[in-house]
Copies of this chain bind each other. A is one copy, B any other.
Amino acid sequence: MKHLLDIKALSASDIHALFEQARQFKNTPIKQSQKLHQGRSAMALFFENSTRTLTSFQLACQRLGIDITALNIEHSSTKKGETLRDTLLTLNAMQTDLFIVRHSQNNIQQSMAEWLNHQTSIINAGDGTNQHPTQGLLDLYTIWQHKKAFENLKVAIIGDLKHSRVANSLMDGLTTLNVGEIKLYAPEALIPESRKTWLADDMKSCIQDADVVVMLRIQKERFTAEDPISIENWHQHYGLNQERLQWAKEDAIVMHPGPINRGIEIADEVADGLQSVILEQVKNGVLMRQALIHQLLS
C-alpha cells in the first residue's frame, strides 16, 4: 500500500489489518509509538478548511514521531498563479514522506499521485463529493468494535447522501466487508443514482431493526428557497429523535461524522444518549489514521 486515495482500493483483509493495527496503537503508550517514525515528515495540504480532520491527522503524526507541517494554503503559491502540479512537485522536492490532501475537486489526489510518479505517499483527506476514506475507515472500525462481524448487520444511513463523501467511503467499505444490508433515507433528490436501490420507502423502514444508524451532516448552505424541504422542516421529516431510534435494534449504535447540527439532523437526546458513539468515532479517528500512516510508511 503506497497511497490511500479511495477506500475501494482496500480489500477486506487490508481493512482488517488496519483494525488490528489501530487496536494495537490504542494500547501503546505514545512515548513508545513516537519512536516508530522519527525523522519522517508529512505535509498537510488542506485546500478546504477543516480543523477537526486536520487536528486528527496532526495528532496521529505526532504520536508516530512524524513532523507534520500544515501549509497555509491561503498564502500559498497556487494563489500566486502557480499550478497545483508545480506546488506539489516543489513541496515534494523538499523531501517529505507523506502528503495529506483535502481538495474540493473530485479525484484530484489520484492526479497528484501520478504527478509524483507514485514516489511519495498520498492520503486523501476528502475530495469533493467523492471519497473521504480515512473517515470511512474510522467509521468501520467503530462499528467493528461494537458489532465484531459485518455479515449480518443492517446499517441505516440518513441525510444528504448526494454530497457526502463520508457516506460514499462508508458504503463502499461496508460493501467490501460484505455487510448484511444497507438502507438509505433522504429526499430522493439527495440520493445518488447508483445507490437508489438502497433507498427505503420511509424513515421507519430504513431504521427498522438496524444495528447501526448513521446520521449525516446537513450543510445548511446547500438549501435554497425552492427546495421542497426547508431546513426548518428537516428535523421533522429526516431527523433522528429517541422515539424513532426505538425502531432500531435495542443495542443499535448511533453515528455521525460531525460537526453535528443539534436539532436538525439529530436531537440532543440522541446525540448525548447512551447509544451515541459519536465521540468514540473521533477518538478512533486518531488511532485509525495512526494505523494507516504507520502502514504506508513501513
Q: How far is the CA of A39 from the CA of B286 in the complex (A)?
A: 15
Give the nearest-CB partner of A81 in chain B: B261
Say which residue of B75, B83, B89, B258 sits within 8 Å of A51 (CB atoms).
Answer: B75
Say which residue of B29, B76, B258, B262 sits within 8 Å of A39 (CB atoms).
Answer: B29
Besides A31-B39, A87-B259, 14 new A-B residue pairs in contact (Cβ under 8 A), listed by A number: A30-B40, A49-B72, A51-B72, A51-B73, A52-B76, A52-B77, A52-B90, A55-B69, A55-B94, A59-B67, A90-B282, A93-B280, A94-B286, A95-B286
Q: How far is the CA of A72 from the CA of B51 in the complex (A)?
A: 7
Q: Are the CB atoms of B50 and A75 closer together than 8 Å?
A: yes
Q: How far is the CB of A68 from chain B (nearest CB, A)?
A: 10
Q: Interface digits, A267-298 against B, CB 8 Å rule (1 contact, 0 not)?
A: 00000000000011011011000000000000
Q: A29-B39, A59-B69, A75-B49 are in contact. Are A90 and B261 (CB under 8 A)?
A: no
Q: Are the CB atoms of B56 and A94 closer together than 8 Å?
A: yes
A80 within 8 A of partner (CB): yes
Q: How far is the CB of A79 from chain B (nearest CB, A)?
A: 9
Q: Are the CB atoms of B90 and A258 closer together than 8 Å?
A: yes
Q: How far is the CA of A124 from the CA of B41 in the complex (A)?
A: 25
Q: How far is the CB of A169 from chain B (nearest CB, A)?
A: 20
What chain B residues lie within 8 Å of A87 (beta carbons)? Answer: 259
Q: Interface digits, A32-62 against B, CB 8 Å rule (1 contact, 0 not)?
A: 1010001111010000011110011011001
From A52, A89, A280, A286, residue with most partner B Cβ within 10 Å: A52
Q: Are the CB atoms of A71 and B59 closer together than 8 Å?
A: no
Q: Are the CB atoms of B51 and A77 closer together than 8 Å?
A: yes
A222 within 8 A of partner (CB): no
Q: How far is the CA of A129 from the CA of B238 in the complex (A)?
A: 43
Q: How far is the CA of A50 from the CA of B59 in the complex (A)?
A: 23
Say which residue of B86, B94, B258 sits within 8 Å of A259 (CB atoms).
Answer: B86
A260 within 8 A of partner (CB): yes
